[in-house]
Structure 1
Amino acid sequence: MQQSSQTQPSTSSIARSCANNILAIFLFPFHVISKITQKLLNPAKRNQRRIHSRSPAFTFKIIWTFALLIGEVFIFSYSMQKCSWPEHESWNTTATEPVHVAIIADPQIIDDYSYGRTGILQKISEIYPDMYMRKNWINLQHIFDPDAIIFLGDLMDGGRELDDNKWDEELHRFRHLFIPEKPIKTPTFYLAGNHDIGFGEHIIPEAFYRFRKVFGAFSYMTKLGNHSIIALDTIALSGSNNNLKKDAKKLMQRLNNDTTNSFPRILLTHVPLHRPPNTDCGPLRQKGHSINQGAGHQYQNLIVESLSNDIIDNIKPSLILSGDDHDYCEILHGEIPEITVNTFSFAMGVNRPGFLLLSLYNPSNDNSTETNFTTFAYSQCLLPNQIRIYIWYIILFIATIFCIFSQAFLKLRRNSEMLPIWHRYHQKRKWTIFTSQYWKMIAKEVGDIALIAFIIYLGCWIWFLI
């Protein structure tokens, strides 16, 4: 008896098939343009047979439906599904599961202070980055179901500048964007950024205390997965106001005086620590190769060298996580890795925003740092290039308009050539100046396509807003 076997398609072949289908959808308008151009340039061949005019409107309704579903929904899910929680090969995850933490940096929601725009331009500048982050936030929770989430600061772009009433409005907006799906199961931790409170000598006390009242202490220690997570207010430590930085100094002293074998420590700081000039950030950085020192109004690219050394000497971290720069950077302080996490917003100057997936695995519950394996693993997860999606929409829009105009032009021309010969000269003169019949035809077909596209687009947005 012969046994039959079926070969299961591989993941890579399925991915290639999906990619080819998506590419075919976007290339279809150009195929239509090519066919129409051939007809325009070859009238003799066209006249050899009778051609029945078919409107491309129905085809473009289908194309726009698929394009919007892909560009507004599926590409966001697909980008995250390519990522996974990292694990070290030495971990025995069948006995003990790692604790999974999502690290988000610099959402920096756009406000009145971001670009100096007004009216509808300002609303557009706010709505589209908000919607981008909302989609990714929902997918992050659904796909990864993290055990904890950490925001590394710069929650708002102009938080330090806002009065109390406006700040409350922006706070409501931030909370609406980042609604936790499982608030009890998934704790969320926050750091303050320089856009939230200012920096160093120029921290705005009102903004400082307002932020602390809502989001809690700036410097604190908590435990996740048998690791000590240490949030340190390096922004206040960079100034001379003892009232603002006293909590951070006390935490550093307490950790330095801790003589017990504590859990492995992970340091959280909004601003990256000092490193030598032109220190390479690794291949995952998108713009430039390094983060170099620089300072200006209410910002500083790096914590100064002396303070950075004090922080490392006192806290003795196993891993450092930072934000502020908006782009990914991975360096070593001796043997201690520091990861600067991508911004979560597409409005912050990088093509591919992202976040960090952090897995913590320390099954021994004895507060010991003496382990013979790595207790953490991390990986970057990139989000879609929103600008590229908009460019595809623009290209598809131009292709749609060209095809509709060309098809209407051909239809009127064919109708004129089917008339008795003594009417042809008059008819050709008529359609060459584009009559109202031509424009009505254009308006109807474009309107039909636009209506379908608008309904699909609105439906995609409502799906993520409810």
Structure 2
Amino acid sequence: MARLYIGKLRSMHSLTILILIAWLIAFTLHERYLTRSTIRKCSWPPLKESKVVNPNRVVSPKLDLRNEITNKDEGSTTSDDERNKQSNEDGEVAFSNMKILFIADPQLIDNHTYPGRNQLLLKLSQHTVDVYLKKNYYYLINELQPDYIFWLGDYLDNGRSSTDEYFYTQLSRFNKIFYNRFKKTYKRNVNFFVNLAGNHDIGFGDEVKLDSRERFEKEFGAINHYRVLDGLGFITFDTLSFSSTHSNINRESRDFLDNYFNGGAVKDVPRILLSHVPLYRDPNINCGPIRENPKFNVHGGGYQYKNTIDEALTEEILTKIQPDLIFAGDDHDYCDIIHSNGASREITVKSISMAMGIKIPAVQLLSVSISQKGHESTLTYGTDVCHLQTPYENIFSYVILAIVSGLLVLFSNLKQAGTARFQYSAVLPLANSNSTKLRNFLREQEEGENEEEDEEEEEDMSSTSFENNLTSHNRKTGSFSLPSTASKLLHIPNYTFTSSVNNSSFLTKVGGGWISNKLSEFTKFFRKWNLGNFFKQSIILAILVISVYYFLFCLTL
């Protein structure tokens, strides 16, 4: 049975099929099963923390505008009838449990991400990261089915400095990965919010690019916005422009903050603040056990980048907005703190991308419920991180499998090269009974090839000498006839000998004698070990594997 199985493996077609099956299993495992099973470990956290909002002043008329953007106006799945069913006899209204997904910093790789990198490697990096984002996002939506999705900025790596043509090319990539397939379920500014800008989208502080900011708002929505969803207020605040010292840059953010959250404005509903850049905190504060990097660098910064908002601006934001929860991005790593006011909890959400310098990308889940009784609102919530599939494990597995596949193809060709020269068709009588003896005989003959070649050269030289002597003798006797045996000996050797001398002379003149010998040795080695078939079969197998991956695991996402 074992012999039969090994015999089948000798067929290249059978080996190709077995290798393709192995690749299919590997792709299914890494691109589907492990991605899905990792996300299935995540679940919406239970409601366990509560905060009560009890206003003691009348709502300012300025705040009436914010309540125009309500559940009903935004197309929420919770209807007025459903809300009325949740009202009790005491007039208390309990809104349904909301499941909210926060996503930070996809920061799609573009031509500016890795300066100087080879274009082929850059395209390969883009493809690898895009597929990782697309498959994880696909299973996040299908397995968790969030009610709302909020994005926390940095959608493109260089949106701030891109030309319009290049920007819209990258925007199309973003939509293909995150939006187009789910636009029937999630609608922009209804339950899919991408209007929070990041520093890679518009810049930071005094370096905010106004034309890029205008373009961003045109495509993604207003970057300063307040909405109430199911009794919970969401504030999207452009802290990037707010950090600028130039009035032409910070005016819109400051007007938004002063008009909505200043003076006699009262906090009548719980509030969640969304900011791309985290707010200032104690440099020695502990971000919690989930964080990968040991410390949060509060004062760090760089080109159009800063780790936190200035301390004075942070105090102004906390005082005026009075947020119960804050969700930020930008840092790429996780951080969970309570601000100095003791009332605002801030969570820095990990990046969803595998290319942002963290070992395990993640998203943030928030379960929240609001109950209202008179002017009092109670926020009950639970939040947890949802880690995604560990990056690069699949790439490592594919490299190992590629090496194994190549070795199997090489071994198969070497085996064929070792037996092809000594096997005859089964039609020959000797093929079955005396095949071993025949192969041994042929091997002995092959080993003696060099000796025979030397003997032939000596015979050629002898025949040449014989020809000269014979010709000289005939001239003396006046006869020009040659014996028949001499004619047979002289005809081909003289032609071959003359040609080789000419070729050798030519190659020697151009210095190619050594090259010619090495080329001859290489050609002989190449044919002896059947390497031509190896490279041909390897290329065909690679094309088949790439086709399986692309058509079955990329186009189907």
TM-score (norm: length of structure 2): 0.67
Q: Residues 105, 404 of structure 1: CA spacing in aligned structure 2 closer, same or farther, 3 A cutoff?
A: same
Distance in 2 separating the partners of 1:68 and 1:429: 51
Distance in 1 separating the partners of 2:98 and 2:326: 17
Counterpart in the other structure of 2:213: 208
Q: What number of residue pairs does the alignment pair up?
A: 413
Q: Residues 168, 59 of structure 1: CA spacing in aligned structure 2 closer, same or farther, 3 A cutoff?
A: closer
CA contact (8 A) 1:106 1:326 kept: yes
Distance in 2 separating the partners of 1:456 and 1:68: 9
Distance in 2 separating the partners of 1:148 and 1:292: 30
Structure 1 counterpart of 2:43, one-letter code: S
Distance in 2 separating the partners of 1:292 and 1:414: 70
Q: CA deviation digits over 1:44-81, x for unaligned, max 9?
A: xx9xxx97472444432221110012222222222211
Structure 2 counterpart of 1:266, one-letter code: I
Q: How big is the shift at 1:229?
A: 0.8
Counterpart in the other structure of 1:424: 443
> Where in structure 2 are the equivalents of 1:202-351 lying within 5 Å?
202-253=207-258, 254-257=260-263, 259-334=265-340, 335=342, 336-351=344-359
Q: Residues 112, 52 of structure 1: CA spacing in aligned structure 2 closer, same or farther, 3 A cutoff?
A: closer
| SS in structure 1 of the partner of residue 286 of structure 2 | coil
- Greater gyration radius: 2
Counterpart in the other structure of 1:110: 109
Counterpart in the other structure of 1:394: 399
Q: How big is the shift at 1:448?
A: 5.7
Distance in 2 separating the partners of 1:282 and 1:429: 77
Counterpart in the other structure of 1:187: 192
Matched, 1:462 2:465: no
CA contact (8 A) 2:48 2:381 kept: no
CA contact (8 A) 1:330 1:340 kept: yes
Counterpart in the other structure of 2:72: none
CA contact (8 A) 2:197 2:238 kept: yes
Structure 1 counterpart of 2:305, one-letter code: Y
Counterpart in the other structure of 1:173: 173
Question: Mind listing any 5+ residue stretches in structure 1 that lack a counterpart?
Answer: 1-45
Counterpart in the other structure of 1:68: 27
Counterpart in the other structure of 2:62: none
Distance in 2 separating the partners of 1:190 and 1:429: 82
- More displaced, 316-325 or 77-86? 77-86
Distance in 1 separating the partners of 2:448 and 2:17: 30
Counterpart in the other structure of 2:157: 157
Counterpart in the other structure of 1:435: 527
| SS in structure 2 of the partner of residue 113 of structure 1 | coil
Q: How big is the shift at 1:163?
A: 2.0
Distance in 2 separating the partners of 1:284 and 1:308: 24
Q: How big is the shift at 1:387?
A: 1.8
Distance in 2 separating the partners of 1:361 and 1:278: 33
Distance in 2 separating the partners of 1:272 and 1:111: 25
Structure 1 counterpart of 2:241, one-letter code: A
Q: How big is the shift at 1:437?
A: 6.5
Counterpart in the other structure of 2:381: 376
| SS in structure 1 of the partner of residue 327 of structure 2 | strand
Q: CA deviation digits over 1:175-231, x for unaligned, max 9?
A: 222213313473324211111111111111111222122222222111223211111
CA contact (8 A) 1:194 1:235 kept: yes
Q: How big is the shift at 1:447?
A: 4.8
Counterpart in the other structure of 2:148: 148
Q: Residues 260, 204 of structure 1: CA spacing in aligned structure 2 closer, same or farther, 3 A cutoff?
A: closer
Counterpart in the other structure of 2:481: none
- More displaced, 190-199 or 75-84? 75-84
CA contact (8 A) 1:328 1:340 kept: yes
Distance in 2 separating the partners of 1:82 and 1:142: 14
Q: How big is the shift at 1:325?
A: 0.9
Q: How big is the shift at 1:127?
A: 2.8
How well do the aligned residues superpose, as a CA RMSD in angstroms? 3.2
Q: Residues 70, 429 of structure 1: CA spacing in aligned structure 2 closer, same or farther, 3 A cutoff?
A: farther
Q: CA deviation digits over 1:327-352, x for unaligned, max 9?
A: 12222214432111111221222222
Q: How big is the shift at 1:404?
A: 2.7
CA contact (8 A) 1:287 1:327 kept: yes
Q: Residues 410, 351 of structure 1: CA spacing in aligned structure 2 closer, same or farther, 3 A cutoff?
A: same
